[in-house]
A = this chain, B = another copy of it.
Amino acid sequence: MPTSPTTLFADERAGSIYRTAARIIYTKGFEAASMSEIAKAVDLTKAGLYYYVKGKGELLFAIMSFAMDLLDREVIAPAQRIGDPGERLRAIVEEHSRLLTYDEGALVILMDEVGSLSPEHRSRITERKRSYFEFVRDTLDELAAAGRLHAVDTTVAAFSLLGMVMWLARWYAPGGRLAAREVVRDITEIALRGVLREGRPEAVSAASSAVYSEEVLS
């Protein structure tokens, strides 16, 4: 279905606005980032920016929804197709970590700025996050029922694993001396080993100490 040139341009422009806004909000925080600043970054006046977005709150909500869609598509949906709960857990940790090494803001905003949303928007985002959390915990429950989990509360375990993964966004600097692939693999190993009883088959583990480098403390 072809779109008219003007509309296509508008869509591309809108996309670049959201991406730029995400980067700025991610860097400075939502409250500290001003609409004028975002407008200037996309070569518009503030009023010009308001032609595209309804308001600051709507902008934040749009970015978060985009991030949630990304998480759904890249992590949750693929994992849901995996039958074995152990492999499913591994896929979740691995893909979520990998996504965070790519990301340039949206996923971090999703984690950090829920408090800045309006009540209605907040409840919609929180609902999607809860459903993700429950997906992880259900997977852990399945493992526990099969006797494959160490004796820990699955709620605590789910939060801990997700926390470990999400923290990645706080410290990992792409382009630094730590390669994304090794980081993702190490995190996955630490996470799974933390909760799973089984001594997993780890053939790849030996090649671990390849190109490691410096990291950034925020």
- A-side interface residues toward B, CB under 8 Å? 27-32, 112, 114-116, 126, 129-130, 133, 150-153, 155-157, 159-164, 166-168, 170-171, 178, 182-183, 186-187, 189-191, 193-195, 205-206, 208-209, 212, 215, 217-218
How many copies of this chain are found per oligomer? Answer: 2
How far does the alpha carbon of A133 sit from the alpha carbon of B168 in the complex, in Å? 14
Q: Which residues of B contact A168 (CB under 8 A)?
A: 159-160, 163
21 contacts between A and B (CB under 8 A): A32-B115, A126-B218, A151-B208, A151-B209, A152-B190, A152-B208, A153-B182, A153-B209, A156-B178, A156-B182, A156-B186, A157-B190, A159-B171, A159-B215, A160-B187, A160-B190, A163-B164, A163-B167, A189-B194, A190-B194, A193-B195
- Partner among B163, B183, B186, B193 whose Cβ is within 8 Å of the Cβ of A193: B193
Q: Does the CB pair A153–B212 fall under 8 Å?
A: yes
Chain B contacts for A151, CB-based, 8 A: 205-206, 208-209
- Contact, CB under 8 Å: B152 / A186: yes
Known: A186-B153, A186-B157. A115 touches B28 (CB 8 A): yes
Bound CA–CA A167/B30 (angstroms): 20
Contact status A160-B164, CB under 8 Å:
yes
For A28, the closest partner residue in chain B by CB is B115
A115 to chain B minimum Cβ distance, whole angstroms, is: 6
Selected from B29, B160, B171, the residue in CB contact (under 8 A) with A167 is B160
User: Known contacts A29-B29, A153-B182; can you find 14 more A-B pairs with CB under 8 A?
Assistant: A29-B115, A115-B218, A133-B217, A150-B189, A153-B178, A153-B208, A155-B178, A156-B187, A159-B215, A160-B167, A160-B168, A160-B191, A163-B164, A166-B167
Q: Which 5 A-B pairs have the closest CB atoms?
A: A163-B167, A31-B31, A194-B194, A190-B194, A152-B186
- CA separation between A206 and B162, bound complex, in Å? 25
Within the complex, the shortest CB–CB distance from A198 to chain B, in Å, comes to 12
Nearest-CB distance from A204 to chain B (Å)?
10
Kindly provide the distance from the CB of A98 to the nearest chain B CB, expressed in whole angstroms: 14
